[in-house]
Amino acid sequence: MKCNPKFQTYVCKEVPVSECSLTYSGKIHPLPLYIKKLCSRTSGFMSGDRFPRIEAVWRNFRIDPGHLAATSRLCGLTPGKTVPVFYPLTFLFPLHMSLITHREFPLSFLKMLHLRDHIVQHRAIGVGELMGISSRIAGQRVVPRGIEFDVCTTITSDGATVWEGISTNFFPGRFGGETDPSPLSRFEPMPGRCSTIQWTMPGRGGFRFALLAGDYNGIHYLAPYARLMGFKRDFLHGQRSIAECVRRIPSYEQESVVLSLVLKGPVYYRSEVFLKYAPMKDGFRFDLHARDDRRPCILGSLIFPGDAANEMERPE
């Protein structure tokens, strides 16, 4: 991923050649992947270990108009000729899980938490485009109370990169001494003067979104199971919470976009929330809060590089 500090992009080009490679050319069904992983033994992960270098490639991919329409209805979006910058998050999950459920992956996905997303959209993706997608495990850091790792994804069309993303996940446990944190975990403070939008989150649709995204974790549609896992009740998938936020940011539908997000806590169904956002150079900084909670559920920034990025990269 091209490094441009001004727009908080992140270097993923230092990725070693993959030790394991997976190739898909049709729909990926995650449920068999889950079952196979649950029925197998994991090797475990010790201090000093490295995550295996696994890559998955999805060839000849086209956006399913039915999937887009159903996702748009659930997320309050208006379908168009191109898709929003965050939409790929709703179809990439099965590809990512093919890495995490691989026999060489040392930990169980049952304990995994999704922490962050960093997206660089070079141009908007058309609904009918033929694309190639590759995802790979690249980067790990020991943090307080566990370890996190990155899944880097690249989407290409006609040989050109159109969308790149880094999805960061967390496993709890003790894995040795802490390492330097990811630069993507840092955000500028929210300015004192900002705009606020209030609304009530949707009250249903968790299982339908699970079917669309391939994320069948019961914490998103079974309240008793969510309480068993330590939450107050079931709550929205991260992708759906992200869509609810970003679609309310002014002018978010741009050709060139850098979107960075940190998921700090659950966003419960039917909860009253407010979005604080403020303009910053080249974009917006925003936080999503539940009512009466000073701690944000989601931290984010939305940047529109445009011509400024080209100007910055031009040699003197």
- What is the Cα–Cα distance from 161 to 90, expressed in whole angstroms? 19
Token readout for 69 is: 């329409």
- What is the Cα–Cα distance from 195 to 205, expressed in whole angstroms? 29
Domain at 285, CATH number: 3.10.129.10
Q: Is residue 201 part of a domain?
A: yes
User: What is the structure's pLDDT at 299?
Assistant: 95
Which H or E run contains 93?
A: helix 89-100
User: What is the structure's pLDDT at 11?
Assistant: 39
Domain count within the chain: 1
User: What is the structure's pLDDT at 18?
Assistant: 55
- What is the Cα–Cα distance from 85 to 164, expressed in whole angstroms? 10
Q: Is residue 10 part of a domain?
A: yes
DSSP reduced 3-state for 111: helix
What is the DSSP secondary structure assignment for residue 108, as one 8-state letter? Answer: -
Domain containing 218 equals 5-175+190-306
Q: Is residue 185 part of a domain?
A: no
- What is the Cα–Cα distance from 296 to 103, expressed in whole angstroms? 36
Q: Is residue 314 part of a domain?
A: no
Q: Is 231 exposed, middle or buried (0-12, 13-18, 19+ CB in 10 A)?
A: middle
Q: Is residue 315 part of a domain?
A: no
- What is the Cα–Cα distance from 80 to 202, expressed in whole angstroms? 23
Q: What angle is formed at CA 303 by the lines to CA 307 and CA 196, rounded to 5 degrees?
A: 135
Q: Is residue 180 part of a domain?
A: no
Q: Is residue 183 part of a domain?
A: no
What is the DSSP secondary structure assignment for residue 122, as one 8-state letter? Answer: S
- What is the Cα–Cα distance from 158 to 244, expressed in whole angstroms? 31
User: What is the structure's pLDDT at 111?
Assistant: 83
Token readout for 120 is: 């660089």
Which H or E run contains 210?
A: helix 206-213
- What is the Cα–Cα distance from 188 to 180, expressed in whole angstroms? 18
Cα atoms found within 13 Å of the Cα of residue 58, Cβ hemisphere only:
27
pLDDT tens track, the chain, 316 positions:
443 433 334 434 444 445 788 999 988 998 899 898 988 888 888 888 899 899 999 999 999 999 999 999 999 998 889 999 999 999 999 999 999 999 999 998 888 899 999 999 999 999 989 999 999 998 889 998 899 999 999 999 999 999 999 999 999 988 888 888 888 888 888 888 899 999 999 999 999 999 999 999 999 999 999 999 899 999 999 999 999 999 999 888 888 999 999 999 999 999 999 999 999 888 999 999 998 788 999 999 999 986 433 322 322 2
Q: Is residue 313 part of a domain?
A: no
- What is the Cα–Cα distance from 25 to 198, expressed in whole angstroms? 42
Token readout for 123 is: 């141009």
